[in-house]
Amino acid sequence: MAEPHDLTALEQAAAIARGELTSAELVAHHLTRVDALGDTVGAFVTVTPERALDAARAADAVPAERRGPLHGVPTAIKDLTLTAGVRTTFGSAAFVDFVPPVDADVVRLMTAAGLVSLGKTTTSELGCSLYSEGLVAPPARNPWDLAYTAGGSSGGAAAAVATGLVPVAQGSDGGGSLRIPAALCGLVGYKPSRGLVSGGPLGFGAFGLPTNGPIGRTVADVAALLDAMAVPVPGEPYLPPPRPAGGYLGVARRADPGRLRVGRFTAPMLADEPVHPECVAAVDRAAALLTTAGHEVVEIDPPLGPATWPLFETVWYALALAPVPPAREAQLLPLTRFLRERGAALGAGALLTTLGELQAQVRLGARRTAGYDLLLCPTLSAPQAPVGWFTADGDPAADFDRQRRFSPYCAIFNVTGDPSVSVPVGRTAAGLPVGVLLSGRYGDDARLVAAAAQLEHCSDGWDRHPAIWRGVDSANVNGSGLGRSAA
């Protein structure tokens, strides 16, 4: 028999709506799993069981006519994201005791949609790296094979969803931080168009690179969470694209993007790096599925190349300069200190020149790919990386370069602001997930969501689970038929 965590996020909400489960029962079920498996996969920095159960009981008391598609469903918030009254460490020992007085807009909007957070998920320190291995929590590990990283900076979110600790989670993506963990852990990680999801109420927009977004097991679940997040907020620096009729969930359920012209490439954009054959094979499979669905797939050159890297690198140095109390600088990890030292050495003129050159490159790339509705490429240059692999040399400069070579695709779409999603189309010979990247035109999130949903259907679905998924026995819930059979 199915257990509650076997259900998708939308199925869990439907079970609540039918009276088969309560939100409080669902939350208690998932908290049991977090207690048993959370540290094993390094999913959480902070778990808030009492707060979650109180919120679930409040959700159960909301009248049916005021409930949205994910009402009462368990979720989690990335530890980079401000959450009022809950310890938020930004993945750093320098902030181990920090408790924000305000919610980020995305947290407020998810709460308003009836989602119930179980706590804060593991992230890299200040979001600076594509792995989540810090000092405030166990490293985020890939549930498919615990020897491998779950990625970063939304690594804990991916580990939590792929282990069945929550069905969907909030993350953020400044250079691939949702899509990289999704690719590693066999999930759907969605980076929205710039401006679609608020980054407020604090911060300066970070040159438009980072954005909040959803991660989940299915495109429909991710689209439903995107609907909850994508509510216009006054004062944001970027104009949000218009919302499609019926929302992104409606688009995902229709799964009809129209006939598309898809530009396919496998050459890396930020590094001259060989691409693993299993990553190329995943792109080949996605291209074949899209062709079978009636789309035109054309081999093209990448919109941008390795010459873009020094520009992105400079901006990344600047972004590492988040405020840190001077007395706590020494508690930062070597990579973070390395990035901040480089950032502190930048002059205002150099940074402005870099931003101007970067925008010129964006214009060139947009013109090169103007005839295509979507772009298809690998998410990463290799399928997986072991925990500790990036830091093995003890040299932060080598660590940073190794990250660039491992992920030479994702960050380009942070630079352009285009929507981009990693979907788990491939598998390695050992059965580990391999993601591919679909990216759309700026503001055309609806078409990208529809195409990802169509690809999911054409591939016969990809909601598959690692062995650890069955690592916790659970009792039947409410005698509803959900849960393990007594036999």
pLDDT of residue 473: 67
**Helices in 230-302 by DSSP H: which ranges?**
247-254, 277-292
The H or E element spanning position 118 is: strand 116-121
Catalytic member of 23, 117, 132, 177: 177
Q: Is 191 a catalytic residue?
A: no
- Predicted local distance difference test score (pLDDT) of residue 483: 38
Q: How far is CA 123 from the centre of its chain?
A: 11
The pLDDT of residue 1 is: 55
Active-site entry in 23, 92, 117, 153: 153
Residue type at 68 in one-letter notation = G
Residue 65 exposed, middle or buried by CB count within 10 Å (0-12, 13-18, 19+):
exposed
Candidate list 78, 117, 154, 407, residue with the active-site label: 78
Q: Helix 334-344 and helix 396-406: axis angle, to 10°?
A: 90
Predicted local confidence at residue 467, as pLDDT: 97
* pTM greater than the 0.85 cutoff: yes
Q: Where are the domains of the chain?
A: 4-470
**Residue 104, CB half-sphere, CA atoms under 13 Å: how many?**
24
Within 13 Å and on the Cβ side, how many CA atoms surround 237?
14
| DSSP conformation class of 308 | G
Sequence-distant (≥ 6) Cβ neighbours of residue 281 within 8 angstroms = 426, 434
pLDDT reported for residue 231: 98
- How far apart are the C-alpha atoms of 104 and 140, rounded to whole Å? 23
So what's the pLDDT on residue 479? 45
Cα dist from 43 to 152, 387, 452, whole Å: 11, 14, 26
CATH H superfamily, domain 4-470: Amidase signature (AS) domain (3.90.1300.10)
Helix, strand, coil percent values for the chain (each to nearest 5) = 40, 15, 45
CB atoms within 10 A of CB 54: 14
Catalytic-residue membership of 177: yes
Cα 38 to Cα 33: distance, rounded to the nearest angstrom:
7
Specify whether the CB–CB gap between 101 and 58 falls below 8 A: no
Query: What whole-number distance in Å separates Cα of residue 292 and Cα of residue 289?
Result: 5
Q: Mind listing the pLDDT tens digit of every residue in the chain (487 residues)?
A: 589 999 999 999 999 999 999 999 999 999 999 999 999 999 999 999 999 999 999 999 999 999 999 999 999 999 999 999 999 999 999 999 999 999 999 999 999 999 999 999 999 999 999 999 999 999 999 999 999 999 999 999 999 999 999 999 999 999 999 999 999 999 999 999 999 999 999 988 899 999 999 999 999 999 999 999 999 999 999 999 999 999 999 999 999 999 999 999 999 999 999 999 999 999 999 999 999 999 999 999 999 999 999 999 999 999 999 999 999 999 999 999 999 999 999 999 999 999 999 999 999 999 999 999 999 999 999 999 999 999 999 999 999 999 999 999 999 999 999 999 999 999 999 999 999 999 999 999 999 999 999 999 999 999 999 999 998 866 444 544 453 332 2
